[in-house]
């Protein structure tokens, strides 16, 4: 199997609710699994991106939202073996128990530092034991487990080392080593070893049967959308459905894309009980990278094949990954709109039969338009950002096909598409570190 196929396969993961509450619950549940007795205290320390993204987002199967309740439910009901879907079996009784833990002051979640790379340190205490689980780099990537002051497991420094016993594998978990090579040049992420031209060659040449698994994303994200359509909690989805003539698939590709994409995002951020297929650790990224392409293909099914849709989505995923490796997993930069939006815009251009030069134009148009959109956490506003991203992507692709783009001499556009994507990421990290701090301060003041 080709390296880029493996990269996509390793990165696609089901995630229930916004990814950050799921990761917090997973970390707490993992720590709890190593202690005996009733939980007396839960303490979780997060980097700013984790802290901000879970601050006001809905939690699956719960009437509550935010960091404290994600941590409490991790102690009360989460199943660590389910990874980012750890909260899928929460009951109303569990919700009440979590609420009581928070009211009793047994749960504390603190901002550890300002930074875009994921860090979670979850400590669970009982009368007899305490355990700290540390996660770094990706949402379920446990690097160390310390019980009663003794390290009982630590990730190997050398992936080839075999002396230490690994903990039980967790569904949905994968390490940075899965997405980065080993040996010479292993500090460079796999995706950054490819040019845009090489990525396009891969997309055109990879055997269709090798990427058929990508279709799972459409099925999963459509089920999430349907949950949003049925729910009385959604407000944006009914409007988008009305704009699309009360049809799931209309004759208008753009309004269908808005419904399929942002209806699913709204369901996700409200914490409805269906998973999304995530990419780069984010369900909203995964939705934006896929659903507008699915919409376009279904509206134009007479000329867009299922195979073309899979190839366009592979391109969308890879462009998203390319930008996100520069920006960091979580930052003050809306990766859903900017990174996944750019990937999706390239996928649209592919479905429309664009020539190779047009993909550079698409990237430059998106860089000039959306870069700088802030991320103020996983919340209802993500659907609004998704609406903006879909509009921008359709416009960027249309302009690019006609040879219209913002030239490289302007703004942050680079001389090559690879440079432009790097500069887009740099706006987030290190560029928006102070912005991240200000966003968190505003949220805490509220």
> Is the residue at 382 inside a domain?
yes
> What's the sign of the alpha-carbon dihedral 366, 371, 377, 383?
negative
Q: What is the dihedral of CA 155, 12, 237, 352, to 10 degrees?
A: 140
173 with 81, same domain: the answer is: yes
Q: Is residue 186 part of a domain?
A: no
pTM for the whole structure: 0.84
Residue 55 sits in the same domain as residue 150: yes
- Within a domain: 24: yes
165 and 114 in a common domain: yes
How confident is the prediction along the chain (446 residues), in pLDDT tens digits per residue? 699 999 999 999 998 777 889 999 999 999 999 999 999 999 999 999 999 989 988 888 888 889 999 999 999 999 999 998 888 889 999 999 999 999 999 999 999 999 878 999 999 999 999 999 999 988 999 999 999 999 999 998 754 333 333 333 333 333 333 333 333 345 899 999 999 999 999 999 999 999 999 999 999 999 999 999 999 999 999 999 999 999 999 999 999 999 999 999 999 999 888 999 999 989 999 999 999 999 999 999 999 999 999 999 999 999 999 999 999 888 889 999 999 999 999 999 999 999 999 999 999 999 999 999 999 998 999 999 999 999 999 999 999 999 999 999 999 999 999 999 999 999 988 889 899 999 999 999 98
Report CA-CA distances (Å) from 120 to 44, 177, 179, 231, 234: 7, 18, 20, 32, 31
Question: 231 with 322, same domain?
Answer: yes
- State residue 185's pLDDT score: 41
Whether residues 297 and 153 fall in one domain: no
Same domain, 155 and 200: no
Give me the pLDDT at residue 328, please.
84
Total number of domains in the chain: 2
Shared-domain flag, residues 205 and 110: no
CATH of the domain at 275: 1.10.4100.10
Are 125 and 54 within one domain? yes
Task: For 34-68, give one letter per residue: b (16+ CB within 10 A) or e.
Answer: bbeeebeebbbbbbbbbbbbbbbbbbbbbebbbbb
Q: Is 388 inside a domain boundary?
A: yes
Same domain, 249 and 150: no
Query: Is 159 inside a domain boundary?
Result: yes
State the pLDDT at residue 186. 52
Pair 65, 209 in one domain: no
The C-alpha R_g of the chain, in whole angstroms, comes to: 21
Q: 118, 148, 178 — which closes off a domain?
A: 178
324: Cβ contacts below 8 Å, ≥ 6 apart: 280, 285, 335, 339, 425
How far apart (Å, rounded) are the C-alpha atoms in residues 117 and 326?
11
In terms of phi and psi (left: phi > 0; alpha: psi -120 to 50; beta: otherwise), the region of 189 is beta
Q: Token pair of 137, please?
A: 């780099």
Looking at residue 166, the DSSP 8-state letter turns out to be P
Question: What torsion do the CA atoms of 97, 103, 104, 109 make, to the nearest 10 degrees?
Answer: 90
Q: Flag whether 188 is in a domain.
A: no
Instruction: Say if CB 299 and CB 253 are below 8 A apart.
Output: yes
Q: What is the CATH number of the domain that holds 39?
A: 3.30.1330
Of the residues 151, 178, 205, which one is the last residue of a structural domain?
178
Peptide bond into 60 cis (omega under 30): no
32 assigned to some structural domain: yes
Quick one: pLDDT at residue 56? 84
Residues 208 and 174 in one domain: no
- Domain holding 245, by residue range, is 194-445
> What is the spatial distance between Cα 255 and Cα 235, in angstroms, rounded to a whole number?
16
In a domain, 427, yes or no: yes
Instruction: Note whether 274 and 395 are same-domain residues.
Output: yes
Domain's final residue, options 145, 178, 211: 178
């Amino acid at each position: 199997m080709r390296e880029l196929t493996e990269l996509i396969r390793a990165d696609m993961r089901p995630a229930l609710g916004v990814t950050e509450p799921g990761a917090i619950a997973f970390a707490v549940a993992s720590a709890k699994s190593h202690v005996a007795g009733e939980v007396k205290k839960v303490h979780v320390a997060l980097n700013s991106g984790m802290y901000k993204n879970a601050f006001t987002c809905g939690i699956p199967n719960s009437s509550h939202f935010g960091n404290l309740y994600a941590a409490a439910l991790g102690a009360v009901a989460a199943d660590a073996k389910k990874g980012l879907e750890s909260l899928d079996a929460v009951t109303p009784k569990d919700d009440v128990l979590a609420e009581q833990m928070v009211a009793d002051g047994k749960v504390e979640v603190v901002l550890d530092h300002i930074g875009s790379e994921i860090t979670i340190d979850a400590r669970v205490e009982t009368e007899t034991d305490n355990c700290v689980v540390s996660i770094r780099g990706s949402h379920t990537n446990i690097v160390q487990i310390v019980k009663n002051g003794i390290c009982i497991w630590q990730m190997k420094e050398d992936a080839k080392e075999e002396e230490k016993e690994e903990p039980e594998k967790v569904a949905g978990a994968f390490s940075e080593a899965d997405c980065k090579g080993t040996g010479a040049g292993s500090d460079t992420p796999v995706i950054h070893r490819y040019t845009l031209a090489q990525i396009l060659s891969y997309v055109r040449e990879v055997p269709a049967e090798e990427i058929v698994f990508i279709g799972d994303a459409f099925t999963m994200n459509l089920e999430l959308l349907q949950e949003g359509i049925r729910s009385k909690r959604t407000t944006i989805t009914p409007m988008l459905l009305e704009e699309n003539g009360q049809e799931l698939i209309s004759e208008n590709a753009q309004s269908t894309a808005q419904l399929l994409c942002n209806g699913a995002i709204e369901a996700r951020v409200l914490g409805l009980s269906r998973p999304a297929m995530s990419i780069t650790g984010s369900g909203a990224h995964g939705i934006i990278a896929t659903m507008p392409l699915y919409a376009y293909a279904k509206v134009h099914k007479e000329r867009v094949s299922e195979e073309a849709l899979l190839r366009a989505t592979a391109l969308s995923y890879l462009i998203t990954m390319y930008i996100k490796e520069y920006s960091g997993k979580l930052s003050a930069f809306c990766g859903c709109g900017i990174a996944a939006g750019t990937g999706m815009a390239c996928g649209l251009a592919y479905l429309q039969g664009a020539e190779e030069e047009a993909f550079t134009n698409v990237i430059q148009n998106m860089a000039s338009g959306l870069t700088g959109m802030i991320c103020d956490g996983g919340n209802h506003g993500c659907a609004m950002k998704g609406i903006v991203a879909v509009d921008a992507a359709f416009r960027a692709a249309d302009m690019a096909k006609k040879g219209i783009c913002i030239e490289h001499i302007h703004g942050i556009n680079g001389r090559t598409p690879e440079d432009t994507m790097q500069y887009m990421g740099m706006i987030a990290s290190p560029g928006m570190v102070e912005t991240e701090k200000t966003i968190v301060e505003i949220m805490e003041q509220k």
